[in-house]
Structure 1
Amino acid sequence: MKPLGTLLLTPLLALLAACSGVPDGITPVGNFQLDRYLGKWYEIARLDHSFERGLSDVSANYARNADGSVAVINRGYNASRNAWSEVNGKAKLIAEPTLGSLKVSFFGPFYGGYHVAALDERDYSWALVVGPSRDYLWILARQRQLPGALREQLLARAGELGFDTSRLIWVSQDRPDG
């Protein structure tokens, strides 16, 4: 018979592991080059969630830490507060370094999945990123806007992956100080 602590801890560990897992049917990009992915990305679209609700001009900046992990700075403008909101985190590759699958933490030991499901492999100019479930989806780009045809291609790809693209929020990127 297992001790009570082990019985309680096992489901918790399984739940935490699931938070960084990849949704069924989605494979992160291969031939991923983390150093090329580093730098500033603008959030073009996202599925709504509480930690970014109401933010415009959202960007993410990724830089290599001395220990090989990635420093993450997410920043967005909160118009109701008339102020910028910023959060710092840390990301680590989950598997082999050529797989676009990371785990990101903004709150201590708790990590969430960050999986690059589609990527402009030539220029690294856009990315389709998913979280641990189909409740998390981001379209990112190196520029503040994407051409309409490319937006439609990414919407189609997200739909093929099982995301409800009608729920996407198209993020305003109009502030010159962003």
Structure 2
Amino acid sequence: MRGGPNPTPRAYCHRAEPHEQDGRNRHMRAALLTLLLVFGSCAPQPVYRRSEAPLPVASIDLGRFLGLWYEQARLPNRFEYGCQVVTVRYARHDGGVSMTNTCTDLAGDERVAHGRARLVGEGKFEVSAFGPFWSDHWVLDRGADYSWAIVGEPDGKYLWVLTRQPQITPEQRAAFEQKIRALGYRPADLVWAAQSDDDLVQSES
């Protein structure tokens, strides 16, 4: 270190080559994204729900809940800023459940974050990206055939609408808006996924 009172001995110094530095930067960005995706509720975030916390669904068949989900809507949050297409995949792994979030931005670049999930009660998941730290993810509503799910958390700061298909119809969106209102949220507060190229936006308001 230059300018410090105790410079690092030269024998222990290592100047990273450009490709090494790029690799480290990518790993750091991936690690940060993972932490933000899973622990976003730790960051300052407004409360959007206008009522008491809704109860999670009465039952979840984990085997049917696993697989690939497409995000159709979300409450605004900093860790998904700029994401145009978002998916989350739940899979069995090492006796537990792995969680892979993929965000594609307007330029087509992908950001991937990995975490863990566990079912801790009826309709209640906990997710983690690091060590012993877990955050709540509640399934607030779902389709009987597991074709869609609305996921939130107790504080009313985060909400996601997930479906098995990449896109939804206007009629399906209207039905989701009704369900969201019934849970105490305003549909106008949500960021909805692009259903065509005309819907793509540069940034979230």
TM-score by length of 1: 0.76
Give 1:158 deviation, angstroms.
1.2
Q: Could you say which structure has the higher strand fraction?
A: 1
The separation in 1 between residues aligned to 2:119 and 2:78, in whole angstroms, is 25
1:134 aligned partner, one-letter code:
G
SS in structure 1 of the partner of residue 178 of structure 2: helix
**Contact 2:102–2:112 (CA under 8 A) maintained in structure 1:** yes
The separation in 2 between residues aligned to 1:111 and 1:92, in whole angstroms, is 9
Match of 2:72 in 1: 44
The separation in 2 between residues aligned to 1:131 and 1:108, in whole angstroms, is 21
Correspondences of 1:1-178 after superposition (within 5 Å): 24-67=52-95, 69-79=96-106, 82-95=108-121, 99-121=122-144, 123-172=145-194
The separation in 2 between residues aligned to 1:89 and 1:35, in whole angstroms, is 18
Question: Does the C-alpha gap of structure 1 residues 24 and 93 become closer, same or farther in structure 2, counting only changes over 3 Å?
Answer: farther
The separation in 2 between residues aligned to 1:26 and 1:160, in whole angstroms, is 9
The separation in 1 between residues aligned to 2:57 and 2:196, in whole angstroms, is 30
SS in structure 1 of the partner of residue 114 of structure 2: strand
In the TM superposition, what whole-angstrom CA distance separates every residue of 1:9-60 from its partner, at most 9, and x where no partner exists? Answer: xxxxxxx9x98xxx94311112310100100000000011111111111000
SS in structure 1 of the partner of residue 171 of structure 2: helix
Q: Structure 1 unaligned segments of length 5 or more: list them.
A: 1-15
The separation in 1 between residues aligned to 2:158 and 2:196, in whole angstroms, is 24
SS in structure 2 of the partner of residue 154 of structure 1: helix
**Paired residues, what number?**
150
The separation in 2 between residues aligned to 1:132 and 1:53, in whole angstroms, is 22
Give 1:114 deviation, angstroms.
1.0
2:80 aligned partner, one-letter code:
E
SS in structure 1 of the partner of residue 55 of structure 2: coil
**Contact 1:58–1:173 (CA under 8 A) maintained in structure 2:** no
Q: Could you say which structure has the higher helix fraction?
A: 2
SS in structure 2 of the partner of residue 156 of structure 1: helix
Percent of aligned pairs sharing the same letter: 35
In the TM superposition, what whole-angstrom CA distance separates every residue of 1:128-160 from its partner, at most 9, and x where no partner exists? Answer: 111232111110000011232222122112112
In the TM superposition, what whole-angstrom CA distance separates every residue of 1:90-143 from its partner, at most 9, and x where no partner exists? Answer: 001122xxx12101112332221111111111x211111112321111100000
1:29 aligned partner, one-letter code:
V
Q: Structure 2 unaligned segments of length 5 or more: list them.
A: 1-38, 43-50, 198-205
The separation in 2 between residues aligned to 1:115 and 1:172, in whole angstroms, is 25
SS in structure 2 of the partner of residue 159 of structure 1: helix
1:86 aligned partner, one-letter code:
V
